[in-house]
Amino acid sequence: MINFNEIKGFICDMDGVIYRGNQIIPGVREFIDWLNKENKKFLFLTNNSCYTPRELQQKLARMGLDVSEDHFYTSALATAAFLKDQAPGCSVYAIGEAALFNALYDAGITMNDINPDYVVVGEGKTYSFDTITKATNLVRNGAKLIGTNSDVSAPIENGIMPACGALVAPIEIATGKKAYFCGKPNPLMMRTGLRMLKCHSNEAVMVGDRMDTDIISGLESGMKTVLVLSGASTAETPKTYGYRPSAIFDNVGCIPGAAEEQK
């Protein structure tokens, strides 16, 4: 059981929780209004590596939501931070969107398609047979394989699309090498989120639509967890896992009502 009035911080996924593609999910506006009204700390922690925090802020603004840029953290930023810590000044061959390249450049990492230290794969339209062939041979020749996140799919308006875990799979299969994923449920990303909120894990809640990334990451970080059924999961989904969320709601708009009932 979660007493939402006692919780200080909320870490929320975005795809399937705040929006599906370019459509806002019902209840989101009420949820954000409640967070601001109750002075709750909150952070949108997304495994989507395609957008910078500023782009995410602008995307929500186009949906009529006013959220400042400092409320966002992405798997692209987590990947860049990991590589900067592991191998400062390293070089990579990257597949992904500008947000991933910007994060890597900002971390002092250079691009190299000849003999890179790492091959880094994120989501994006630059993914092609040629790029995975190049990545496969670089990994085969010794580059270490990194994925921004392990999600195999992501919700869109009319269904799902392949996500990073699915895009990395051909390289893993062809080389026999397993990727290291930096996004959720990696505890490094969760600890960063908690530091940004300045909250202890027992004061925070993880809100997400996936059992295999959002809920497990919150659980293993010592946080309470909320599964919303507005994205990848249905009411039946938790029954197939050996762990359960602390609470299940149709969408994030149900959280303010639950908090009001607890007063």
User: Distance between CA atoms of 205 and 213, rounded to whole angstroms?
Assistant: 14
Q: Under a CB-based contact definition with an 8 Å cutoff, are residues 252 and 11 in contact?
A: no
Q: Which two tokens stand for residue 70?
A: 């400092």
User: Distance between CA atoms of 253 and 132, rounded to whole angstroms?
Assistant: 40
User: Distance between CA atoms of 81 and 71, rounded to whole angstroms?
Assistant: 18
Q: Which residues contact 196 (CB under 8 A, 6 or more apart)?
A: 43, 73
> Which residues are the active-site residues?
13, 15
